[in-house]
Amino acid sequence: MTTPTHLDIFPAPQEMKAHEAFRVWVNEQKLFAYETEVFWEADQAPKKVAYCTFDFTGKVEICVTSDQTIQQARIHPLSLNIDTHICENTLTFTLDNPVKISVEINGNIDRTLMIFAGEPETHLPDLEDPELLYFPPGIHEITENEYGILTLKHKRKVYIAGGAVLRARIHAHHLKDIEIFGRGILDGSTLLSRHPEYHAERVGEAPGLDRPIFMDFIKCKNIKIEGIHFINTPHWTLRMVECNHVTCRNLKMIGSVENSDGIDIVNSRNVLIQDVFIRTADDCIAIKGKALHKQKKRSNISNIQVKNCTLWADRASALEIGHENEANKIHNIHFSNIDILMQRLNTIGYHALNIHNGDDANIYDVHYKNIRVERCQRLAGIKISKGYFNQAKAYGRVHDVSFKNIYSHDKHDLHLHGHNSEHEISNISFENLYLDGQPKTPEVFTNPFVENYDYRQDGKIIESFNTPLPRLNFTPIDLPEHPQEMRTFPQPAHFSKEHVQLSGIDFHLSPLHAVDLNGSGEKAPVPLQTKADYLFFLQICTNETSPIGTVIWIYNIIYEDDTHCTLACRYNLDISDCNTWASGGWMAELDKKKTYIQSLKNPHPDLQIKKIVPNKMNTPEQGMLLALSLGKRIDAS
């Protein structure tokens, strides 16, 4: 028996801007196509997308007309298998279940139409409830303070009706029993303080403003957020800090500015994220440990469930644990039944599924199950290394992590990079990986500080190893002094230490050991007369604006018999692209200067290396070789 169709269509306030490219109807009733921005980049024009919303039961027909002839159309998530019909500039399809979808016309990913078709509301507000804040259809603003912050009280209920637009931040500190629900929109387009500063400059704001979060909960208990839309977030979208028992259900988030994280779970416990759609210009969902108080009290993170979600990360990672991990334990984390439409950023260290332990937490009991990844730069990665945001001096561990039933249309790479033998990655299981529907063994990039990894297909062990790369002894090399050619960075190029260990690799460095790579041509040959299994180059590059993949310098390895091999260092690529291991480029800081490790597995370990010749490419980057270390297998003669 077919369920009769029921439609709830919400009127848009007259002040809201409609997207000019799309006209949308559901069962011949017109929907308002809201316009909002995605993935704002300083050197490009704003990217405008459209979204529509309605609730229904039964079966409906969607009709979309475009301002251009439709050559092809794809509806994401692809796992929904929605059939389409195209006639000139019109696309039609039917829906018989609630969905959150992205309609892509002619392959243009930054001019998409998102349709949020939900179930009719069953949880309606009691308008007589004295604890209720009710925002009816229309535009509403909070004018009592500079930043438009609506500060909540105990047991407060906030209902944003369909057709309502609330231009405000919502903050709650040390509260319990809070509900925020409805079908309306929380809009940050008029709020002060874009983050970071160059976004503020774009909209003409004065520098140095505070940076309040869009929706922020600190030390709260029993929180429910359901049904509403978030657009034009000026900063992180939804943050919970040291909270307990939080439920986020049926949310829709679209952010364009850098730092527009979707949901940040910070030192919180018992959190459920269910049926959310997030397209953001940073991490979609991030689990973080961060000590925010002067006493640096650390709360553990546990019992986090993220399920039945659709995610699109224009920057960073779709599912992130880290980079901040100031907690004793981060455990009992479950990600399940998730569609990742995009993980876009090609910069080093980001993955669709990512764990970056940059502080000293013990991260374990983490599970990814039934994850479908449509497009990504890198599929999955786990690493232990310091970064810009980390505070703890010590390092942590990552262990007992499982990936099961991972479906990828794009990549099948797995990156595992521990710090050293005391702070390693262990007990990693990968079961059932499919690339374009076919079983595929992961392409694994790793370093020696990983123990117990196995890959299974349909219950059968395909690959298993302990200590996938050999343990190495490191021999730091003192580079020859070339003061007349040395580039100082800054003036002078002093570092506070002469001996450093990065990702477990020993290096010697000092100001006079920095080899200038400015200009083109052969520079500063490094004589060695020794053998090595691996070579590790520690470098600085001072230009972060060049296209990803630009070759910025080349190392020629010359052997005793005059044979040679070449390593090309490319700007801002994961070093695994060069078939190497270390925890990633831009992987550490020395005295607040970014450093980059590039390594080479020596193809001729039985030959003595006579010299290494750095050759600078004719590019505007200003590269500098800081140090060189050789790795030799401990079990080698």
The two structure tokens encoding residue 287: 């689990």
The two structure tokens encoding residue 349: 């260290």
CATH of 6-118, one of 2.60.350.10, 3.40.50.300, 2.160.10.10, 1.20.1630.10: 2.60.350.10
The two structure tokens encoding residue 123: 């949880």
| DSSP H helical ranges for 97-194 | none
For residue 424, give every residue at least 6 positions away whose Cβ sits within 8 Å of its Cβ, in sequence order, or none.
384, 397, 418, 449, 450, 451
Asked whether the predicted pLDDT for residue 100 surpasses 70, the reply is: yes
Pick from 460, 448, 353: nearest CA to 408? 353
Asked whether the predicted pLDDT for residue 584 surpasses 70, the reply is: no
Q: Rounded CA gap, 504 and 451, in Å?
A: 15
Query: What is the separation of C-alpha 568 from the centre of its chain, rounded to a whole number of angstroms?
Result: 27
pLDDT level of residue 315 (50, 70, 90 thresholds): confident
Q: Rounded CA gap, 185 and 256, in Å?
A: 16
pLDDT for the residue 521: 41
Q: What are the CA-CA distances from residue 506 to residues 392, 448, 567, 579, 634 (Å)?
A: 21, 14, 20, 21, 15
Q: What are the CA-CA distances from residue 309 to residues 18, 250, 285, 376, 402 (Å)?
A: 26, 9, 10, 17, 19
Please tell me the least confidently modeled range out of 38-52, 57-71, 119-133: 38-52
What fold characterizes domain 472-633? Answer: Jelly Rolls (2.60.120)
445: left (phi over 0), alpha (psi -120 to 50) or beta: beta
DSSP 89-118: TEEEEEESS-EEEEEEETT-TTS-EEEEEE
Q: Rounded CA gap, 305 and 323, in Å?
A: 19
Query: What is the separation of C-alpha 414 from the centre of its chain, rounded to a whole number of angstroms?
Result: 15
HSE (side-chain half, CA atoms, 13 Å) at 258? 10
Q: What is the mean pLDDT of residues 609-635?
A: 74
pLDDT for the residue 493: 47
Contact, 380 vs 407, CB < 8 A? no
Q: What digits encode the pLDDT tens for the residues 196-205?
A: 777 888 888 8
Question: What does R_g of the chain's alpha carbons equal in angstroms?
Answer: 26
For residue 174, give every residue at least 6 positions away whose Cβ sits within 8 Å of its Cβ, in sequence order, or none.
218, 219, 220
Please tell me the least confidently modeled range out of 30-39, 138-147, 155-164, 415-424: 415-424
Asked whether the predicted pLDDT for residue 514 surpasses 50, the reply is: no
pLDDT level of residue 538 (50, 70, 90 thresholds): confident
Q: Work out the number of other CB atoms within 10 angstroms of the CB of residue 466.
A: 10
Please tell me the least confidently modeled range out of 129-133, 278-282, 603-607: 603-607
* Token pair 């972060």 in the structure block, residue: 544
Pick from 594, 615, 491: nearest CA to 543? 594
Q: What is the DSSP letter of 242?
A: S
Contact, 50 vs 101, CB < 8 A? no
Contact, 299 vs 332, CB < 8 A? no
pLDDT level of residue 580 (50, 70, 90 thresholds): very low
Handedness of CA 483, 485, 487, 491 (dihedral sign): positive
pLDDT level of residue 497 (50, 70, 90 thresholds): low
pLDDT for the residue 448: 77
Q: Rounded CA gap, 616 and 327, in Å?
A: 43
% of the chain exceeding 70 in pLDDT:
84
Domain boundaries, the chain: 6-118, 472-633
For every residue of 538-585, which 3-state class applies, written as one string? EEEECCCCCCCCCEEEEEEEEECCCCEEEEEEECCCCHHHHCCCCCCC
pLDDT for the residue 519: 42
Q: What is the mean pLDDT of residues 609-618?
A: 75
Q: Work out the number of other CB atoms within 10 angstroms of the CB of residue 132.
A: 14
Report the run of H or E that residue 201 belongs to, with start and end. helix 197-202
DSSP 19-46: PSSEEEEETTEEE--EEEEES--TTSPP
Q: What is the mean pLDDT of the chain?
A: 86
More confident residue, 5 or 579: 5
pLDDT for the residue 600: 75
pLDDT level of residue 587 (50, 70, 90 thresholds): low
pLDDT for the residue 583: 41
Q: What is the mean pLDDT of residues 560-583?
A: 64
Q: Rounded CA gap, 306 and 271, in Å?
A: 8
pLDDT level of residue 496 (50, 70, 90 thresholds): low
pLDDT winner (highest mean) among 157-166, 468-477, 614-623: 157-166
Q: Rounded CA gap, 454 and 59, in Å?
A: 45
pLDDT for the residue 486: 38
Please tell me the least confidently modeled range out of 324-333, 436-445, 568-577: 568-577
Please tell me the least confidently modeled range out of 212-216, 436-440, 533-537: 533-537
Q: Which backbone phi and psi does 630 adopt, to 5 degrees?
A: -105, 140
